[in-house]
Amino acid sequence: MPANQTELTKGHILECLNRHKDVLRNKFSVIKIGLFGSYVNDTYDTGSDIDIYVKFSNTNFRNVAGAWVYIEKILDHKVDLVYDHKDLNKPLKENIEKEVMYG
């Protein structure tokens, strides 16, 4: 069931991510996935995208792009996906890790 068939809240988003955790791990090498940004801070509005933070065991284009498309499909909403990698801006990573809620 797409997430937006009910009110889209951080609880619903995290529940949906948790239900799909095995598929994300097995198909796309996701080891950790979480929510950050406006949905965590309750500052979202109808035009907000969903900010997702992902850690992969194997960071390659297929896994990153595949996970992003899959997550947008299961949430039925636009997703801004940030993934942990060695070149990720350090202040950005620190800010995300302060507020991220893992599913």
The whole-model pTM stands at 0.90
Q: Which single residue is written with the structure tokens 């065991």?
A: 57
Task: Please choose, from the candidates 27, 36, 20, the residue with its C-alpha nearest in 3D space to the C-alpha of residue 72.
Answer: 20
Domains in the chain: ranges and CATH = 3-102 (3.30.460.10)
Q: Characterize the bridge pairing of strands 50-56 and 101-102.
A: unpaired
Half-sphere exposure at residue 16, Cβ-oriented, CA atoms within 13 angstroms: 24
Average pLDDT over residues 88-99: 97
Question: Which tens digit of pLDDT belongs to each residue from 5-28?
Answer: 457 899 999 999 999 999 999 999
DSSP string, 44-66: --TTPPEEEEEEESS--HHHHHH
pLDDT tens track for 24-55: 999 999 999 999 999 999 999 988 999 999 99
